[in-house]
Amino acid sequence: MLFRSRHANATAARLELEQIGEEIQLTITDNGSGLPRTQLKEPSLGVVGMRARAEQLGGYFKLANRPEGGVQVQVRVPARQPEEEEVIDG
């Protein structure tokens, strides 16, 4: 949240965590100045890592400027991870 106040000029942020069917969704929005288009096209390593982790869990990660201003981050992953198959040697 420190980034929100220092760089985005946001005065408020909202976090929502909800279960939608068999998935968990986290949505974070703020009322700041939004992200430069270049940062949306060429995301930082932090964003790349968050997206990779969500995809690794079978979900997705979205980062976008909101039409009314600010940014929205949305992550959705399965509520339960598939159990790993047991591997038997030999």
- Model confidence pLDDT, tens digit, residues 26-59: 999 999 988 888 777 787 888 899 999 999 999 9
CA separation for the pair 2, 8 (Å, rounded): 10
pLDDT score of 64 more than 50 = yes
CA separation for the pair 85, 26 (Å, rounded): 28
Task: Give the confidence band of 6 by pLDDT, cuts at 50, 70, 90.
Answer: low
Token pair, residue 64, equals: 């976008």
User: Mean pLDDT, to the nearest integer, of 48-73?
Assistant: 94
Q: What is the pTM of this model?
A: 0.75
